[in-house]
């Protein structure tokens, strides 16, 4: 089914970028304040879902040509590898470590292995949510 809704499409073009920015902000702010990989991933997925609503699924898949099932699996793999890193250093599974560095542009930045783990969570959430939405919408 071809959708032709000019207003929705015009607004979507702008709003998608706002949503994506919010998703990235939520993802990074999760380190100390509310937010994090799960919420960031959900917001990120909502951008894709909005795209699918405004345009049709085929167009979106032409623009974003990868299978979201693999995105979910990749996210899970990242989480596992980050967890397994602790086995290499002979500390209990899922142990975290962090350090901070000074940068002239942003000031003090904290770097921790949790962020990597959260990146895996975000990817999994995006993959799962988009897969579910697509699998429902496919045969309407």
Interacting residues toward other proteins by CB under 8 A:
32, 38, 69-70, 73, 76-77, 80, 83-84, 86-87, 90-96, 128-129, 132, 135-136, 139
Using the minimum distance from each CB to other proteins, give the nearer residue, 1 or 105: 1
Minimum CB–partner distance for residue 79 and other proteins (Å): 9
Alpha carbon 87 to chain centroid distance? 27
SS (H, E, C) 115-133: HHHHHHHHHHHHHHHHHHH
Minimum CB–partner distance for residue 135 and other proteins (Å): 6
- The CA angle 113-115-121, to the nearest 5 degrees, is 115
Minimum CB–partner distance for residue 71 and other proteins (Å): 11
CA–CA dist 26, 118 (Å, integer): 11
Return the bridge partners of 30, or none: none
Tally of CB atoms within 10 A around 71 = 19
Using the minimum distance from each CB to other proteins, give the nearer residue, 8 or 73: 73
Using the minimum distance from each CB to other proteins, give the nearer residue, 9 or 28: 28
Minimum CB–partner distance for residue 76 and other proteins (Å): 5
């Amino acid at each position: 089914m071809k959708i032709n809704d000019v207003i929705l499409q015009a607004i979507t073009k702008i709003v998608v970028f706002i949503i994506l920015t919010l998703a990235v902000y939520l993802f990074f702010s999760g380190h100390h304040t509310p937010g994090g990989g799960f919420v960031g991933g959900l917001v990120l997925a909502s951008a894709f879902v909005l795209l699918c609503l405004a345009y049709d699924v085929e167009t979106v898949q032409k623009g974003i040509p990868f299978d979201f099932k693999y995105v979910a699996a990749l996210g899970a793999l990242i989480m596992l590898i980050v967890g397994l890193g602790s086995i290499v250093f002979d500390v209990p599974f899922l142990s975290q470590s962090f350090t901070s560095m000074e940068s002239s542009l942003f000031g003090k930045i904290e770097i921790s292995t949790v962020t990597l783990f959260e990146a895996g969570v975000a990817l999994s959430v995006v993959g799962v949510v988009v897969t579910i939405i697509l699998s429902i919408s496919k045969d309407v």
